[in-house]
Structure 1
Amino acid sequence: MKRSMAVMIMSAMLLTSYTTVQGEVSAAAASAQSALTGHIENSVNLRSKPSLSGGVVGLVKKGTTVAVLEKTNDYWYKIQTSDGKTGYVSASEKYISVSGGVSQNQGGQGTSAVVIYGVNLRTQPSVSSGKVVKMLGKGTKLTILEQSNSYFYKVRTEDGQTGYVSTSSKYLQIGGTVSSPAPSNPAPEQSASISEQVQKVIQAGLKYLGTPYEFGSNRNTTTTFDCSDFVRQAYKDALGIVLPADSRKQGTWIRNNGTAVYDIGSLKAGDLVFFSSYKGSSASAYAGMNPNTERITHVAIYMGDGKILQTYSVKSGGVRVDDFDGAWKYRFLYGGSVLK
């Protein structure tokens, strides 16, 4: 009797465990099936979070098919591999192609938004071809229908009018409300075309994340870069602007262009930033440095928010995003805008 009871209990436990495991497998399979499919074009690091500071948890090899769970932001996809491992990979087309579109975790279809700074409603998702329909004042409530590209949302106003507005967080608050009333004369969209051009440059540079460093790299290829070749390529890809081929000539070009600034706090996103040679990690190592006579040995793109996009050595891993702090701040000579 005791033996029979023990067998029954053991059988029930095994059945429960099997059912649970099957449920988990089915759930995982359903999740994978509901996700979009990504094809890895070139081997890419799988990271623990959507940032270059995220730890590398594996390498997803070229030719691998993965499930795309979400587009976390403009730069990262959250994916799941065939063995169930999840993590984040670069959204660059160099590394992954995705079947169909992916909704971002903010600003997706049907999301509400409120205008927080006067913004133009346009007929097309472009500053150059989109005609201004009207100015949307601060406090205007919108429904986001889709993100048409990196720079424009397609939206619908409360009175049913549709059009396109800038995706910049300067103009829209995604979700929530703004309590202050719309002003009678809302502030206009300022330097929208410059801002959008800068974003194009940064996006063009980010697609080369991880591209190997080579001193004196070939200016006619994109397989490797040195610092000046990289910033030159970003501006060439994004805007068709061909900068001088080396950092010192680029620095002279910026000064001659009349946009040189010597205060880090005055830099704007998209500015080229120039540096002296590395002399140590302390500020005292750079005391008395004259930015106008010191030899330029490095150039990068300032991204805003204390970040620089650059490449500077084989050991560093090629094109990358770094904090503009420590020795970089001490080595800084001047910077300036390519655009006016």
Structure 2
Amino acid sequence: MKKWAALVVASAMLVTAALPGSAGAVSNAKQAEIVAGVSFREAPSTSGGFIRYLKKGETVTVISQPNAYWYKVRSAKGDTGYVSAQKKYINVSGSGSAGGSAGAGQAPAVSKPATGGTPSQQAQRVIEAGMKYLGTPYEFGSDRSTTDTFDCSDFVRQAFLDGVGLKLPADSRSQGQYLKNKGGVITDWTKLKPGDVMFFMSYRGSKPSAYAGIDKSTARITHNGIYLGNGKVLHTYSKEAGGVRIDDLANKHWEYRFLFGGSVL
């Protein structure tokens, strides 16, 4: 896998390298089945326009594979778009789904996370773990025992659990308190490091003036995500947004809503 930094600098277009042994395209169109609900997008990126969710059991035709993370597919309805190439979402020509014998609704088996390393190496593993879930559908109050859907804090928790074996508290406010108890809280998001957790207040509008005069030291946490560096955050916040995705922070409501962040490692 290319370094996570390359993923971020590419403006959320992820990597463009093909899978090993592939020229970046599926030579012959193949039939595939959607294994779990997943975002259907207009481009091979989380910034691509959200078309709809493909539902479990739908059949699609794989047209090509533009990079290691996405398939270009045609749905049974005839519309064309892009879907995550993760086996937990799509079974191409009987290749099987991720998770082995795990049944529906069960958490898939994951390899034991690597331990040790420098803080930056650990942060890289967390980011790589989180990137695997791009496009995973959003569900408020998602089941913490599965990876079929996520809400914001569930996603952050799973990325750290998969990446470094750290089991954070289950909700965003408890995760925020966990960071405060560790110390090292940062209130200027431009000083965060990749892999730091970011905490946000409720949406009040798209302009800075909507947040003027608010005491952010006492504002309630309503959202969190993982800082990628280069002004980008990896997170999930609504069904309409298409699930786990990458967003820019600067001059957006995310910047104005930011409360604090820092490393939980």
**TM > 0.5 between the two?**
yes
Corresponding residue SS for 2:160: helix
Partner Cα separation in structure 1 for residue 167 and residue 226 of structure 2? 15
Question: Highest CA radius of gyration, 1 or 2?
Answer: 1
Structure 1 residue 335, shift from structure 2 partner: 0.6
Partner of 2:177: 252
Structure 1 residue 242, shift from structure 2 partner: 0.8
Partner of 1:229: 154
Give the total of aligned pairs.
220
Partner of 2:263: 337
Contact kept? 1:65, 1:81, Cα under 8 Å? yes
Measured against aligned partners, the alpha-carbon deviations of 1:14-63 in whole angstroms (never above 9, x if no partner) come to xxxxxxxxxxxxxxxxx865578765423544433211232356876636
Structure 1 residue 201, shift from structure 2 partner: 2.2
- After TM superposition, the structure 1 = structure 2 runs for residues 1-340 of structure 1, keeping only pairs within 5 Å, are 33=27, 40-55=34-49, 62=57, 64=59, 66-67=61-62, 69-73=64-68, 75-79=69-73, 87-97=81-91, 193-208=118-133, 209-214=135-140, 216-325=141-250, 326-339=252-265
**What letter corresponds to residue 227 of structure 2 in structure 1?**
Y
Question: Percent identity, aligned pairs only?
Answer: 50
- Of 260-269 and 62-71, deviating more is 62-71
Partner Cα separation in structure 1 for residue 33 and residue 143 of structure 2? 29
Corresponding residue SS for 1:203: helix
Contact kept? 1:213, 1:311, Cα under 8 Å? no
**What letter corresponds to residue 307 of structure 1 in structure 2?**
K
**What letter corresponds to residue 69 of structure 1 in structure 2?**
S
Corresponding residue SS for 2:234: strand
Measured against aligned partners, the alpha-carbon deviations of 1:272-300 in whole angstroms (never above 9, x if no partner) come to 10112222222122223333322222211
Structure 1 residue 253, shift from structure 2 partner: 1.4
Contact kept? 2:198, 2:224, Cα under 8 Å? yes
- Of 235-244 and 279-288, deviating more is 279-288
Contact kept? 1:93, 1:207, Cα under 8 Å? no
Partner Cα separation in structure 2 for residue 59 and residue 245 of structure 1? 26
Closer, same or farther: CA 274–90 of 1 in aligned 2, 3 Å: same
Corresponding residue SS for 1:259: coil
Structure 1 residue 213, shift from structure 2 partner: 1.9
Which structure: greater strand fraction? 1
Contact kept? 1:69, 1:80, Cα under 8 Å? no
Partner Cα separation in structure 1 for residue 47 and residue 230 of structure 2? 16
Corresponding residue SS for 1:199: helix
Partner of 1:180: none
Corresponding residue SS for 2:67: strand
Give 5+ residue unaligned stretches, structure 2. 1-24, 96-113
Contact kept? 2:173, 2:221, Cα under 8 Å? yes
Corresponding residue SS for 2:122: helix
Contact kept? 1:42, 1:63, Cα under 8 Å? no
Corresponding residue SS for 1:254: helix
**What letter corresponds to residue 159 of structure 2 in structure 1?**
A
Partner Cα separation in structure 2 for residue 60 and residue 314 of structure 1? 12
Partner Cα separation in structure 2 for residue 225 and residue 44 of structure 1? 12
Measured against aligned partners, the alpha-carbon deviations of 1:320-340 in whole angstroms (never above 9, x if no partner) come to 32222421111111110122x
Give 5+ residue unaligned stretches, structure 1. 1-30, 102-127, 130-190
